[in-house]
A = this chain, B = another copy of it.
Amino acid sequence: MIPFNKPHLTGKETHYIYDAVNTGKISGNGKYTKLCHDFFLKRFHFKHSLLTTSCTDGLEMASILINIKPGDEIIMPSYTFVSTANAFVLRGATIRFVDSRDDHPGMDEDKIEELINEKTKAIVPVHYAGIACNMDKIMFLSEKYNLFVIEDAAQAIDSYYLNKDGIKIPLGSIGHLGVFSFHETKNIISGEGGLLVVNDQQFKNRSEIIWEKGTNRSSFFRGEVDKYGWVDVGSSFLPSDIISAFLYAQLEELDQIQKRRIEIWNLYYKELSECCKANGIRLPMVPEYATNNAHMFYLVFDSSNLRSKVIEKLKEVGILSVFHYLSLHKSPFYIEKHDGRTLINSDRYTENLLRLPLYVDLQDQEVLQITHTVREILNG
């Protein structure tokens, strides 16, 4: 039996949790939260990090920070997780969904500008499968129309954008704000968990306030005010230090985790590329301006029937593969609110994309078993 995902443990998680528990400080913003924030600064030069209880919560913080009000419009892909949209819908925004690219499930950067109007407040690019959107195009539109950019980097830890000068810029650090997920299905995990990265320093102080339930508690502990009180809206966005302790153990092993995931990804690619090309099945595309963090290995079939057949046949031999998002513009919640445009690529990925097992503890032998089975199904 090969599951679709299996959370990988570095071995230090429970050790650090034990330490956190025994320090007696297990609410938010403790020792391990600070260690994680320091890690993000050193490793990715994230100037201002705030761990959150989920990536969803990071998106909600972003939505509050840019002052979303009823009637504001947000541009994002339809082929994404519900939280990308819900965080803004909760504040009253209308979502203008963009189609996916023909060659990649990420949003088509050339179809954004036509949706911009005086109500548009922000663009939310989702780095699907950890693969960068074309951030030059998006940041150009941001500057031209004075829009915020919030990078949904849920799947994009340790993934980079290669700018025109060939410099690697960590995803999540390019837009005004960026968010990451540490849900157990991601490369780096803490069960549930997330991160808000504040790149535009105008948001720095307020992000701390919103994180601390709308109080100026952080200022109080820095000695800047003599008591703290209610100064803004906010929520309890900060995770227990138990969660941060787990996360820190994972971050310490980031290089090893990434190395192994990339090996697996490359093995999949090598074993499947010839057969897939012969059968008109698309493999993941990595543009020249993006790096690959091996978050996901997927195939895009030319019909949903074939996808269903592959899922079934793999399941028969104990291999679990899964499809991914359902177009949000066609969801029960939004279909009546959507402006009616057809988004053919988003629907195509909804119908035809298949994800294969990819986790650190997946053995080469298992990958070969999976790829052998896939080839048999396709050629048979």
Contact = CB atoms under 8 A, between A and B. Distances in A.
| Max count, chain B CB within 10 A of own CB: residue among A25, A53, A55, A85 | A53
Contacts of A77: none
A140 interface: no
A334 interface: yes
Contacts of A185: 27
Interface string A39-64: 00000000000000111110010001
A183 interface: yes
Interface stretch (A6-14, A101-109, A369-377): A6-14
Interface residues of A, number: 63
A17 B231 contact: no
A6 B25 CA distance: 8
Nearest to A183: B27
B86 A233 contact: yes
Nearest to A361: B24
Given A14-B18, A82-B215, A229-B331, A241 B191 contact: yes
Given A9-B21, A14-B17, A240-B193, A231 B26 contact: no
Nearest to A235: B56
Given A14-B21, A192-B239, A240-B243, A90 B27 contact: no
Nearest to A83: B213
A380 interface: no
Given A26-B184, A56-B235, A183-B27, A190 B240 contact: yes
Contacts of A334: 230
A229 B332 contact: yes
A83 B234 CA distance: 8
A189 interface: yes
Interface in A81-139: 81-83, 85-87, 89-90
| Max count, chain B CB within 10 A of own CB: residue among A82, A183, A333 | A82
A233 to B, nearest CB: 5
Contact of A236 (B54, B85, B229, B246): B54
Given A184-B26, A242-B246, A235 B332 contact: no
Contacts of A235: 54, 56-57, 60, 83, 86-87, 90
Contacts of A64: 90
Contacts of A246: 21, 26, 242
Given A14-B18, A191-B240, A233 B89 contact: yes
Interface of A: 6-7, 9, 13-14, 17-18, 21-22, 24-28, 53-57, 60, 64, 70, 81-83, 85-87, 89-90, 183-185, 189-193, 213-215, 227, 229-236, 238-243, 246, 326, 328, 331-334
For the complex of A and B, 9 pairs with smallest distance between CB atoms: A191-B240, A26-B191, A54-B236, A230-B331, A56-B236, A192-B240, A53-B53, A27-B184, A82-B230
